[in-house]
Structure 1
Amino acid sequence: MNVRPALDMPPPSPTGIGQPVPRQEDALLLRGEGRYTDDVALPGQLHAAFVRSPYAHGVIEGVDVEAARAMPGVVAVYTAADLAAAGCGPITARPFIPFKHRDGTPMTIPRRGALAESKVRFIGDPVAVVVARTALEARDAAEAVALEITPLPAVTRVEDALAPGAPELYDAFPGNLILDYEAGDPERVAEAFAGAAHVTRLTLSNNRVVVNAMEPRAALAAYDAEAGAFTLHAPSQGVLGKRNALAEAMGVAPDRLRLLTGQVGGSFGMKGSVFPEEVCLLHAARALGAPVRWTDQRSESFMSDHHGRDMEVTAELALDAKGRFLAVRVTGFGNLGAYLTAVGPLMTTIGILRNVMGMYRTPLVEVRTRCAVTNTVPIGAYRGAGRPEGNYYMERLIDQAAHEMGIDRVRLRRINMVTPAMLPWTTPAGTVYDSGDFPGLLDRALEAADWAGFAARRRESRRRGRLRGRGIGCYLEVTAPPANELCGLRFEADGTVTILTGTLDFGQGHLSSFGQILHSRLGVPLDRVRLVQGDSGRLSAGAGTGGSKSLMASGSAIVEAGDIVIERGRALAAHVLEAGVGDIVFDAGRFVVAGTDRAIGIMDLAARLREGAGLPSDLPPDLPATLDIDHVFREAPSAYPNGCHVAEVEVDPETGTVEVVRYVMVNDFGTLINPLIVEGQLHGGVLQGIGQALMERTVFDEEGQLVTGSFMDYQLPRAGDIPPLFTFESRPQPTATNPLGAKGCGEAGCAGSLPSVMNALLDALAAEGVRHLDMPATPQAVWRALREARDAA
């Protein structure tokens, strides 16, 4: 483990690290002055519309575009053959980890063209693109494209896809199997289960969700023929990685493609991918010599964005007679959808392996997953990407084991938790917990939730004809390891300081948080900080935002860059102030000769260097000529944000309606840069978890049609679903693995809410004989479970 010294923190400032400063971004956004992709317009721009497959599975016999080409305003129509003739390659979704099958052979990647080539594999698969003068003309002409497709049988459930005789999506992948994954210690796990005093087993569904970001996907492509270079405006989670993948698909060097991202209205993992539409627009812009734009329609995005989750598993927990965990085993299936995405295999494999132990000292683990393709929308990252899933499986197992063994569920958790005295703790997955007080979080969460007073609240609910339950969701998640992240600092002529970084804000408030770090380090006023994050032409490094690592990556880069600026400034200030370098101290934005009132502010020093005025004439040539810097933070280990959530729900047994009425969360995110932003992140994440647990249901029929294809059919949580009593507390234990001591927080809300809400619901239903219910626990599902339990009684 790479242990770093704790950050030498300056004295507290009203706008520095640790202060709940209102977001600097919000005034502009609330005034409607944000610049999203759809707000960008270029002279002479054309508009694109996509022709999508109406079949979930079929052979493309022909694509007749002649009628469409003759329609008013149409400039061009392209198919897969046109893209191939122009040298456009496939969209290569390389997983972040080089996965291998359990027999040691490497996983291979199915080919995906930007437009469907010989087959269509899900309803919504793009087959052709129409370019016209206006968006309406493009859409009208897209309806005139005649597709000749011979339908094939479709398969939408992952278990069915792996069954003998199932329709096969690819000739090169018999049986639809993409990855047969196994990790852990199967032999020792089997021995532990064989010798266990008790084994708890649950079959659990992690339901598919539609991402539904506030801002639909959009893109605007332009081509400079003289320079041989592309410019693409598109939402992203980091411009460099996406730029590189698009350049590869277009067959050009990365420096021939500039990706620009402005404001992004939500992503949750989805917009970090490369999509077929972007390649098509780049091709059209080059072929037509004019900018080409496209903005997704909401109904279209339901079947063209990546979906999230979708796993079916059997989770097992082996315990001794005293309730101590011996081993955990998760076996099951991962639905990848019709095509592989870069994160698709990760959630059901290593995501479970590294997160299912949570904060418990489980000595053995085994994960066995079979990942298959189906005739459904591809699966990509969705808030947490395997981390909420792993914690959900363990927390559901613990509550079930407590019931089966007659052990109090709080006690069962407490006796199995890693204690502070045991740290650092190495898990059987090889992860190392370096800091935390897990029993302390549990105790404080129960106290804040008034656990002892629950019986009276349950009686009161009963008097009103309601069932009341409470549930615990302890979680510990593994963040993505921060690495190779840029911090560029530019001291501008207008008195501002620009931070250049490769991470990207799609709702997190990076300008505010990064500005607070810079203010604490260099004393730059918060309102004088600017942020450049979405221009690949100005960035030399950067791994983008994802996995709750942005603060650890960019924040650490800012800290280290600030330290370098201070050392440069001390050397320069020594000459300006006519003192020895050893006598120069940096304090609150000023270089001061120790013990005197002689000083120069950092902004003044930067201005003198820039203007070449007010400096001694005999400056040594080896001194830096500027305070501007480009610094790359190289790497740090993953961190382990953790916490305990307690939910209380009420159920109306006559309608099956579930309401989350009280919610408490106590979290350890290490050093908090801005507690106000962190609390907001948790509110949003918890509500997304409530949505998945109780509402969000993605349904495909037997022919692969997306039945829940609009907000008329697919329910998202709304403001009224926020718990009326919503308590947030922080008990930070800073990590030593990065200079800030931060652990990340962006995806933790889902990790705690999925298990706490479902455990609370099942606690409420237990008195009526209901012991198991899968997500989403819709009113219909709850009502049916209650009726079936009563009929069986």
Structure 2
Amino acid sequence: MSRSPEFAIGQSVRRSEDPKLVTGKGRYTDDISLPGQAYGYVLRSPFAHGTIGAIDISAARQMPGVLAIYTGADLEAAGYGSLPANIQMTGRDGTPMAKPPRPLLAVGKVTFVGDPVAFVVAESASQARDAAEAIELDIDPLPAVTSAEEALKPGAPQIHEEAPGNLAIDFHSGDSEAVDRAIAAADHVTRLSLSSDRLVVAAMEPRAALARFEPETGRYEVHVPSQGVFAMHNFLAAVLDVEPKMVHLLTDNVGGSFGMKSMLYPETVLVCHAAKDLGRPVKWTSDRSGAFVSDSHGRDIQVTGTLALDKLGNFLALRLEGFGNIGAHLGHVAPIYFTANIAKNVVSVYRTPLIEVGIKCAFTNTTFTGPYRGAGRPDANYLMERLIDTAAEEMGLDRVKIRKRNQIKPSQIPYRAPSDLTYDSGDFPGVLNDAVELSDWHGFKTRRREAKKRGKLLGRGIGSYLEVTAPPNKEMGGIRFEEDGTVSIITGTLDYGQGHAAPFAQVLSEKLGVPFDRIRLRQGDSDEVVFGAGTGGSRSAMMSGAAIAEASEKVVEKGKQLAGVALEVAVGDIEFEDGRFSVAGTDLSIDIMELADKVRQGLALPDGTPDGLDVTHLTDVIPSSFPNGSHVAEVEIDPETGVVEVVRYTMVNDFGTILNPMLVEGQLHGGVMQGIGQALMETTLYDEEGQLLTGSFTDYAMPRADNAPDFVFASHPVPATTNPLGVKGCGEAGCAGSLSAIMNAVVDALRPYGVTHMEMPVTPEKVWRAINGN
């Protein structure tokens, strides 16, 4: 038995999980029910800021089916810890980041619309909701602030005592004096203020949680959607104040996350508390209205960029100054996406000698922000690319040539960036050249004339990018030969839509020759995962791929010893290739699956011989990778209505070794569509009192299929040297390239009307006003 070449690394293999998902046989958290379960409902604050006078639950407690109602005082008395905020950072003056505690239910005051105030548990979900509506809240409203910049001004409403002036951290990196000198000596300085709007994540599957407590063992069984069970069960155990082994966390199918489900939310702890208190399982499922105000939001950063250039257009220095909106509470990795990720990724593919980043992150009376597809990477690349286009226009330089002039050349790699990271691989000029050619850059004038005849404006834009993906970490790779003849891969990443099963099986099939259709993937059981950093930061193929490859080597080492016994020869005579252990110089051999069967059937093994082929492996720390690319967008604008349509989209990317080209292209399609959503229609608006004005799909516009252009996808791979497979992460690249390409194209189309910049989203109203001078 040998491996099939159609399932090798580099082949476009269909997603293994799709038949189950598209036929409705997926198993999401809300699909799971346990015997005797009760149902929870969260009562949320209708005020953005206010002092809690009283919470009267007396009438609600008497309603049919109600089993319990918990308030912040109850949870505080139970001794639960604050929700985790894991990042440790210091500001420019050495002051540690402010970390106000986040209670599970509000105590003393509420800080945003949607702040959980009470948890009702009843025999049915409808009874729990009805009872929640009967709770009388006495909240004395306080002034609210929703903008990070406004929150930092003197006299702004104070949100947390632990964060004077609402400042979470004043982040700074770079040499201010050196940047000052470079700007002062520059032949040209471009300044541009721009924002990356706050977004609602709007995953297809709302959050949910189901818990059961076993009094005999003191152990919790918890079902919850996540981006990795290992970290999540550790977070939960810490808040519950129990050993991690006392939490058995399970994640089945997950219907999207984009960063939002990577963190621990109050509701997961609430169902655990209620399950223990009531002696029966408790289930909670979010509704869409609740999700809009309680799921972490994305983006929300305002920055002024300053780019200094010499007379030829060579970059001399870059300075970014601005504000990041934390929201009412710190998320578990806040505020890294506003700070360190901006500083790392704004370098992009360019030789900018000096880079300074200063971002003040503020608490506001809004839903907390968290990582959202790219977590600062798209924002940083967007800032850089808009500055480059603006500088080119101001200096009368060609947009392609100014990029080429400043790109890091292949001969300069390894390249030590101002971020203190070393780029290990890449051909940035080659990628841009491919994008220019594939997009028919030089045929644009003809297309623009044709559009003008139809009364339309045509614009084009480039979005080059480089991402620092996969924060350095370890990962688990477990391989288990099962009794039923299948082989399980066990790893600490988690598939929430990416399609891990097929590419991971391709790696195992190529390395060990295991038949593709006999490989199973296990990721969602904390009892089986000895370590796992989860899925996020475009890390899965790099980290789990490397772990599987390294674990496969250990399987071969064990297999040679076992094959020596089975074939009755010395271990030194055993070779392994294409799924078979062979005796050198003979035709005597045994397939790896046959060997596994022999071991299961009781092969007599001498002392010191492995008892099987199973391996549990943990990699060493694997460094980041640097995926990069150039995207070219063309947009058509109707000047009568202001409607913007993306009509052509070309992308050339360097993802190193590509495990499965079809899945990679699909990832890019999805990421670009999210970029289209942010650039053209999505935005989150609050009024002066902190009320969310875009709290449903009636008010919050999402991209649809008819907003998608035909995509042209191509690869220019230069394998990474930072991991065994040469992989570079691809999951967030679509967002990183699309914001710049689309917005540069919009400005290009509107330039005849004197437009030099537009803020996202470029809605028809905004465009119409820009055209008509309003």
Aligned partners of 2:27 and 2:253 also within 8 Å: yes
1:380 aligns with 2:365: no
Q: Deviations over 1:28-65 (max 9, x none)?
A: 10111110000000000000111100000000111111
Aligned partners of 1:482 and 1:549 also within 8 Å: no
1:463 aligns with 2:453: yes
Aligned to 2:644: 658
Aligned to 1:744: 729
> Which of 31, 53, 56 does residue 61 from structure 1 map onto?
53
Aligned to 2:579: 589
Q: Deviations over 1:669-702 (max 9, x none)?
A: 0100000000000000000001001110110000
In structure 1, give the amino acid aligned to 2:263: S
> Which of 615, 618, 623 does residue 609 from structure 2 map onto?
623
Q: 1:27, 1:459 → 2: CA distance?
A: 47
Aligned to 1:702: 688
Q: 1:782, 1:583 → 2: CA distance?
A: 74
> Which of 277, 297, 303 does residue 313 from structure 1 map onto?
303
1:24 aligns with 2:8: no
1:231 aligns with 2:221: yes
Aligned partners of 1:481 and 1:635 also within 8 Å: no
Aligned to 2:491: 501
Aligned partners of 1:482 and 1:553 also within 8 Å: no
Q: 2:162, 2:477 → 1: CA distance?
A: 44
1:303 match: secondary structure: helix
> Which of 156, 159, 178 does residue 146 from structure 2 map onto?
156
Q: 2:162, 2:555 → 1: CA distance?
A: 55
Q: 1:703, 1:345 → 2: CA distance?
A: 24
In structure 1, give the amino acid aligned to 2:434: R
Q: Deviations over 1:418-466 (max 9, x none)?
A: 0111100001110111111100000100100000100010001101110
Task: Give ranges in structure 1 of 5+ residues lacking alignment.
Answer: 1-9
> Which of 775, 790, 793 does residue 760 from structure 2 map onto?
775
> Which of 712, 722, 733 does residue 708 from structure 2 map onto?
722
Report the CA distance between 1:86 and its aligned residue. Answer: 1.7
Aligned to 2:111: 121
Q: 2:58, 2:660 → 1: CA distance?
A: 58
Report the CA distance between 1:539 and its aligned residue. Answer: 1.4
CA 1:134–1:12: 2 relative to 1, 3 Å: closer
Q: 2:195, 2:769 → 1: CA distance?
A: 18
Q: 1:540, 1:26 → 2: CA distance?
A: 28
Aligned to 2:747: 762
Aligned to 1:74: 66
Aligned to 1:527: 517
Aligned to 1:681: 667
In structure 1, give the amino acid aligned to 2:639: P
In structure 1, give the amino acid aligned to 2:760: M
Q: 1:211, 1:581 → 2: CA distance?
A: 55
Q: 1:729, 1:262 → 2: CA distance?
A: 33
State the Cα RMSD in Å. Answer: 1.1
Q: 1:624, 1:259 → 2: CA distance?
A: 31
1:537 match: secondary structure: coil
Report the CA distance between 1:480 and its aligned residue. Answer: 2.1
> Which of 432, 437, 441 does residue 427 from structure 2 map onto?
437
Task: Give ranges in structure 2 of 5+ residues lacking alignment.
Answer: none
In structure 2, give the amino acid aligned to 1:736: T
Q: Deviations over 1:641-672 (max 9, x none)?
A: 00000000000111110000000000000100
Given the two structures, how large is their TM-score scaled by the length of structure 1? Answer: 0.96
Q: Deviations over 1:216-238 (max 9, x none)?
A: 00110110111111111000000
In structure 2, give the amino acid aligned to 1:715: A
2:402 match: secondary structure: helix
Aligned partners of 1:584 and 1:592 also within 8 Å: yes
In structure 2, give the amino acid aligned to 1:734: P
1:733 aligns with 2:725: no
Q: Deviations over 1:111-135 (max 9, x none)?
A: 1100001110000000001000000
Q: Deviations over 1:221-260 (max 9, x none)?
A: 1101111111110000001111111111111111111110
Report the CA distance between 1:482 and its aligned residue. Answer: 4.3
Aligned partners of 1:651 and 1:764 also within 8 Å: yes
Aligned to 1:358: 348
1:230 match: secondary structure: strand
Q: Deviations over 1:598-652 (max 9, x none)?
A: 111111111211221xx4x5x4311111100100012111000000000000001
Report the CA distance between 1:12 and its aligned residue. Answer: 8.3
Aligned to 2:121: 131
In structure 1, give the amino acid aligned to 2:759: D
Show the 5 A alignment for 1:410-489. Answer: 410-489=400-479
Aligned partners of 1:74 and 1:133 also within 8 Å: yes
Aligned partners of 2:85 and 2:334 also within 8 Å: no
Show the 5 A alignment for 1:92-491. Answer: 92-95=84-87, 98-491=88-481
In structure 2, give the amino acid aligned to 1:41: S
Report the CA distance between 1:525 and its aligned residue. Answer: 1.1
Identity of matched residues, %: 59
Aligned partners of 1:482 and 1:552 also within 8 Å: no
Q: 2:84, 2:495 → 1: CA distance?
A: 25
1:182 match: secondary structure: strand
1:336 match: secondary structure: strand
2:170 match: secondary structure: strand
Q: 1:507, 1:352 → 2: CA distance?
A: 26
Q: 1:173, 1:577 → 2: CA distance?
A: 70
Structure 1 stretches of 4+ with a deviation exceeding 3 A read none
Q: 1:484, 1:402 → 2: CA distance?
A: 42
Q: 1:384, 1:57 → 2: CA distance?
A: 30
Q: 1:621, 1:582 → 2: CA distance?
A: 17
Report the CA distance between 1:483 and its aligned residue. Answer: 2.0
1:610 aligns with 2:600: yes
In structure 1, give the amino acid aligned to 2:66: V
Q: 1:745, 1:301 → 2: CA distance?
A: 27
> Which of 37, 49, 52 does residue 41 from structure 2 map onto?
49
Q: 2:620, 2:763 → 1: CA distance?
A: 46
Q: 1:43, 1:575 → 2: CA distance?
A: 49
2:334 match: secondary structure: coil
Aligned partners of 2:3 and 2:579 also within 8 Å: no
1:563 match: secondary structure: helix
1:137 match: secondary structure: helix
